[in-house]
Amino acid sequence: KEPKKMVEDLSAMGLRHVGYGIPTDMFGPFVTACVQTVREMTDDLPAEEAFRWSLNLISRILCRVITEGSTIVMKAINVNSAKLLRKAVACAPRGKRAMWVLNVQVGTQSISPLVWAIETGSLDASRAILVDLLTIRADRDRYYYGMDTLFERHPDIIQRLCLDAPGLLKTLLDGLIWRSRVTQNGFRRVNYYVKHMLVDKQGDFAKASEWLVSNNDPEPICHPVV
């Protein structure tokens, strides 16, 4: 009745299968097995043919989404390899590097490689993503720093880490500090990037401190950023 919504739902399912690492060549045998099962349950040929046609269409949509969504970043996350993750994002232009690890979109549906890595326990890949995002880079025209993009895409990243990967909180907080390599009179300049820890995008007080307190862990509370 609502084909557009159905395609969107199937696209969302396909993106989840990207995270599961499902090979597309498994869909053919799956469709065949389902059709054979239905054939044993009914003698209604038109119903069987309708079921076959529908399942073939669904499998083609899922295969397309998986093919388009299976980026080298997602493949690195599926094997939880920090080395492959760094190699994958090294292929990205500096201006698009952050979005390679924060957004994979097919049609109207999207999935975050970072959140998927956290939720599936791929902590090595998650740590590599956070380190890459929070590394300051530059070319002749500008500096690149993924902090704003990270908090815009995931304003609840502190809460997610508290719940699913508390061991990565230090990695995130360390990335919000820049220390100069040059010393002067025994001192060196240090910048703290705490805007998103204090204020959300609506201009209200951010909940980062509340989430950290609710986490009941003194280590992140003692971090210089906090």
pLDDT score for 46: 87
pLDDT band at 2 (very low <50, low <70, confident <90, very high): confident
Query: CA dist 208 to 68, 110, 116, 196, Å?
Result: 35, 25, 21, 8
Percent of the chain's residues with pLDDT above 70: 100
The per-residue pLDDT of the chain, averaged, comes to: 88
Q: Where are the alpha helices (DSSP H) in the chain?
A: 3-20, 27-41, 45-69, 72-78, 82-89, 97-102, 113-119, 123-133, 147-153, 157-164, 169-174, 195-198, 208-214, 218-221
pLDDT score for 128: 94
Examine the pLDDT at 177 and tell me if it is beyond 90.
Answer: yes
pLDDT score for 47: 87
d(CA 24, CA 33): 15
pLDDT tens digits for range 122-137: 899 999 999 999 999 8
pLDDT band at 192 (very low <50, low <70, confident <90, very high): very high
pLDDT score for 164: 92
d(CA 3, CA 8): 9
* Closest to 59 measured CA to CA, from 13, 20, 109: 13
pLDDT band at 202 (very low <50, low <70, confident <90, very high): confident
pLDDT band at 8 (very low <50, low <70, confident <90, very high): confident
Examine the pLDDT at 121 and tell me if it is beyond 80.
Answer: yes
Examine the pLDDT at 22 and tell me if it is beyond 90.
Answer: no
Which residues lie closer than 8 Å to 148 by C-beta, 6 or more apart?
196
Window from 50-54, 107-111, 144-148 with minimum mean pLDDT: 107-111
pLDDT band at 111 (very low <50, low <70, confident <90, very high): confident
